[in-house]
Structure 1
Amino acid sequence: MLSRRLTDLAQAERFQLLVDAVKDYAIYLLDSEGRVATWNTGAQLFKGYTADEIIGQHFSTFYTEEDRAAGLPERALHTAATAGRFEAEGWRVRKDGTRFWTHVVIDPVIENGEVIGYAKITRDVSEQRAADRALYESEQRFRLLVQGVKDYAIYMLDPEGNITNWNSGAQAIKGYSADEIIGQHFSLFYTPEDREAGAPAKALATALREGKFSGEAQRVRKNGERFWASVLIDPIRDETGKLLGFAKVTRDITEKRRAEEELERSREALVQAQKMEAIGRLTGGVAHDFNNLLTVIRASADFLRRPNVPEEKRARYVEAIAETAERAATLTGQLLAFARRQPLQPEVFDVCTRLRGLQRIIGSMIGSSVTMQNDLPEAEHVVEADPTQFDTAILNMVINARDAMPRGGTIRIGARIVDGLPAVRGHAAASGTFVAIEISDDGEGMSPETLQKIFEPFFTTKPVDKGTGLGLSQVYGFTKQSRGEIDARSQLNVGTTFTLYLPSADGQVPTISASGGDLAEASNVPRRRVLLVEDNEGVGKFAAGLLKELGQAVTWVGDGQAALRQLNNDPGGFDLVFTDVVMPGISGLELAQMIQKQRPDLQIVLTSGYSHVIAEQGAQGFPLVRKPYSIDGLLAILASRPDQRG
């Protein structure tokens, strides 16, 4: 017994040490009458009394005078004794008289069925109460703010879409009082046709799926009047992610819509007037130019009708008619290009290669007082467009730049890859990958008024007989027909930059197509050592013979294995490999890739009548000549840069 009592005593001492170590809670015992029997460190910190001062005092000392007068201490002990527990929050008083907000728990201590005292735990929750109070006051202020907003309908929906609250702005816009509308489904504001189409449910579904729904549409007021509304719906969730409902904000934008519609009507009227002005300029220009052409034809025909016209003069009049017909064809072609009715023959080509091929023609056009500066990357910038129309567009822009610098200057030509089209002339920006070709000058520049009209047919600022006003119209028509865009930026006395955007054909194989400045004659093509790989005997003999006629040294083999053996036996013996794609065994594409790994310096050109095979096999940028190929096609290969390869 003595040993057990000693053990109990030790355990009691350890428990008292534990209780004394707790500083965030006042933990102490009361006797059955409510007098303080024990006291811990936390109690002393909260209440300010030492153990010697408080033990033996009644716990009602900690209550406010009004709570003591109301008998709260006695009721607390009675509740604990009869209900087994008392728990509450309330004001308490420290030794120095200051009040603090507490959370109190009182449990009865029972022995042999009798209440012999009470265990009391008190925690100071003044800071938590202050935070709760601040939150409550903030929510009240927010409610007042929302209620004070008159220009927006701001209200909540439950998860099913029923209205749970209503601000004064909602009443002003929609006409319903809170008593009339709370509990109603928000679809009440939709037009009958939108309700039938399921628009309310779709709006909530979009808000849940995307985190927000926004839009503009017609809504209906209480009196049946329709109005245009800008609507925003956001889902509201608790900290666990559970959907509590939706926050909905509606703004009446009827006046804004009316103003926009009026502005659009004014804009359409202006555009129509500008169209009529352009049509008048177009018909006048066509009539003027064709009358000039017809004058030459009519006069020449009249002279040819005369008897005894000398043969020399007859030949001159016939030539005048032929030349005039060519000029008329060119004029109609330019008009068709502007109208985007010109038949195009698109090919896949590298813009940089083609621009380099135009250098000679450009050099002869611009004269000695104007210099040309190229900023063309070595990397391929591949597009699919009509190469002839492309050349014409480039030359038209160069001519425009040259004419803007009567005293000389510099024309710069560059190309780059861009993501997306900018917003140009009122058209929205567009996504996608494009090749941008820039042609800039440091000439006279243009005013904003002139810049707006430069793509209109027959519009020109040049003197009479110095320009038709169709060059930039051709550029515009070709670019639009090619699914691209043309942009012009200019500043007076600084210069002008034209940027032509064409959709990128990255990943497609460039087709050899000589530009107007890249055509070569057999007489000035360098002698190349060509390894011809062609499995078809007829085609092989023809191609080998044709290449020899063009002055080339040709070795013809019938398949890929033979080509590899030839290259291994004579590693430095060839300048160019010209291989068919579709062959038994190793395909031409596989052969090209194998050669490129071993001989990256060796030029490789593919040829095939089945270009889709290359697409299916994923060709890696090797140039392609489509069968049947012509002498000009072969000349273009032989005249191309020796370092051109995939």
Structure 2
Amino acid sequence: MMSHSVDSVRVEAPIRLLHVDDDQLLTGLLNDLVVQSHDDISLHSMHDCDGVLSYLETNDVDCVISDYEMPGTNGLELLDAVRQRWPDLPFILFTGQGDEEIAEKAINAGVTDYVQKRSGALQFALLLNRVRKAVEQRRARAALERELRIEKEHFRMALENSPFVAFRLDTDLRYTWVGNPHEDFEVEQVLGKRDDELLPPEAAETVMEPKRRALETGERVREEVTYELPSGVVTYDLTVEPLRDESGAVVGLTCASLDVTDRKAYERQLERDSQRTEAQFELLVDTVEDYAIFLLDPDGRVQTWNRGAENIKGYAREEVVGEHVSVFYPEDDVAAGVPERNLREAKAEGHFRGEGWRVRKDGSTFWADVRLTAIREDGEFLGYAKVTRDSTEQKRERDLLERKEQLEDLISAISHDLRGPLSVAAGNVELARRTDDLSRLDATSQALERATELLDHLGRLAKEGTQILTPKPTDLCEVAETAWSLVETGGAELVVEGSLTVVADPSRLQQLFENLFANSVAHAGPDVTVWVGPLDERDGFYVEDDGPGVPETERAKVFEMGYSTDTDGTGFGLAICNQIADAHGWDIGVTEGRRGGARFEMSSVGVA
């Protein structure tokens, strides 16, 4: 036969039969039946055994049908010859000899099937049915073998390119198969042996323990095993899977082993480097004296403490670790929830930066520049890192610079405004001296009173500029009512709408109200009504009257130093309001009120 390669067989291919029988009438009848009724079968007939092997050498045949009793070589002898060359080729003995001895010999010789000849067409239907069955079984077996070979080749290639060593053990823990063996071992050295026959005693016990456990429990075991060999310490990632038979009984183990020695060495080196780096960082942080650098847990409690923190805040490490960060805030800030608000912002946004007053252990305060950073690892929130710097001197210098600039503006404005009354006074004194008209001294007195008033406002403004803010939660309505009682309001009326608690310096807030109330009375008259209340859509408050209001073209100028639309005004009242608002970090503006009057709005106001 040409090759009879099972890889070339296709299920849909026609069935090719070779029929060997010396009865030409019988072969002719079978051939006619195939031609007439079986399009998927091709049949070649031979009448003796002499040319059968040659035919099989040169032709593809799916099944041989042979008689038993023939001249020369009989069917069993032909079967034996075919089996030697083509052991899986279907061979059906189709004979009239019904001897059980012949059937037994045929089966022992490897016959595929045994069909006894009978009279009529039924014998051929039975024969062809057996042929189809034999060919289909062979083709199915060939397809399965082909798939197995492909899978085995894929597995072999994958194993050869894999860092894993795969192997199987019997229940005595002896190696029965090794794929992709370790370079230190040949397969022949390992097969049939146990680890205690291949490794030093301690190493063997380390390796065998998880294997025994898998046998005893019937469960998968995976763990890292580390042991020492003459060449050094090695570590393997070992997986052991129980192997079971059809009944579920454990009959061995399937194992995979990955050499992770280099990886573990690298991890140990990384750990050492990390520990060394952490130690160096901790030493660096601890030696910093100008910054308080420490960690907080997720609840805001102190976990670490450096030398700078001790210097700035006054607490020793053992006194403060475990305390909540609110211990460093003024009482008013704690009551207003400032510490928790800062922690929430840092956690939500990733960081928080701000400035404010903080309290030392001895009760003294300092101006702090604070940075608070949320710490996360693999998405898990671990706490906060906090860095604090004592910026009291910087704040003092900044405030002094601002006051210097303000005073320069004041001096310039006052110098300008004093020229008028002083010129009037000087002119009237000169006229009185020349004419002896003492009535001129009345105008001189009024001019000097105006100059004195300007100097008084200058003193008040300078005093306001030197005050340091002490903000705390303050009742807006209470301060407004106090300020109203201290202003000459005549028949004016104050209406307080709603309630609001703001974070402000109470004294400076009162001064702001006094100046705004005085401004309303001065420009709207003694019968003015003034309203005070919180803003609707922003954090802040307003002061509004029902007077003539401020023209839109003048609104950008009203807070300038010395600006006034009143000939008797100093131009300092609203400038002081602007200064107070700016000191708090507020925005101040003027617009038209609900009743057409002036409406002053303070926004970006901290509320408690």
**TM class, shorter-chain normalised?**
0.3 to 0.5
User: Per chain length, whose mean CA-contact separation is higher, i.e. which structure has more relative contact order (CA < 8 Å, sep 6+)?
Assistant: 1
Tell me the TM-score normalized by structure 1: 0.38
Tell me the TM-score normalized by structure 2: 0.40
The structure with more radius of gyration: 2
